[in-house]
Amino acid sequence: MFEKINLLIPFGNFIRNKSLQNFLFLALIQSSTVLISIISMPLLIQSIGAEQFGWVNLSLSVIIVFNILVGFGFNLSAPREVALNQSNKAELSQLVSNVFSAKLLLALFSTVIILIGAYGFNLFQGYQSVLVFSVFLLFSEAAFPLWFFQGMEKMKLVSVATIFSKLLFLMGLVLFVQQPSHSLWVNFLLGISGLGVNLCLLGYIHVVLDIRFFSPQFSSILRSLQDNLLLFFSNLASHISINGGLIILSFFSSGATLGMYSLAERVVMILRLFPALIIQAIFPNASKLYQADQPKFFSFLKKVYFGTLAIGALISIVTYLTAPWIIKVLSRGELDGAVGYLQLLAAIPFLACLNVGNIMILLVTNLRDLLFRASWMFCAYMICVSTALTHFYGGAGLCIAILSTELMVFFICLYLLYRHKKELLYGFYS
Q: Lowest-confidence range among 28-42, 54-68, 81-95?
A: 28-42
pLDDT at 172: 94
Task: Judge whether 17 and 286 are in contact, CB under 8 Å.
Answer: no
- List, for residues 161-207, the tens digit of each pLDDT value: 988 999 999 999 999 999 999 999 999 999 999 999 999 999 999 99
pLDDT at 425: 82
CA 121 to each of CA 138, 211, 422: distance values in angstroms, whole numbers, following the listed order: 21, 43, 48
pLDDT at 131: 94
pLDDT at 170: 92
Task: Count CB atoms within 10 A of the CB of residue 77.
Answer: 21
Q: What is the mean pLDDT of the chain?
A: 85
- List, for residues 278-308, the tens digit of each pLDDT value: 887 787 778 888 888 888 888 888 998 999 9
Percent of the chain with pLDDT over 90: 37
The pLDDT-based confidence of 18 (bands split at 50, 70, 90) is: low
Rounded distance, CA 135 to CA 133, Å? 6
pLDDT at 151: 84
Rounded distance, CA 199 to CA 103, Å? 13
Rounded distance, CA 32 to CA 25, Å? 11
pLDDT at 42: 84
pTM, to two decimals: 0.76
pLDDT at 277: 78
Percent of the chain with pLDDT over 70: 93
pLDDT at 271: 85
Higher pLDDT, 313 or 79: 313
- List, for residues 410-430, the tens digit of each pLDDT value: 998 899 888 888 888 888 887
Q: Where are the alpha helices (DSSP H) in 177-293?
A: 184-207, 218-227, 229-250, 255-292
Interval 104-113 mean pLDDT = 95
pLDDT at 393: 92
Of 173, 193, 131, 175, which Cα lies nearest the Cα of 44? 173
Rounded distance, CA 271 to CA 261, Å? 16
Whether 105 shows a pLDDT value over 90: the answer reads: yes
Whether 152 shows a pLDDT value over 90: the answer reads: no
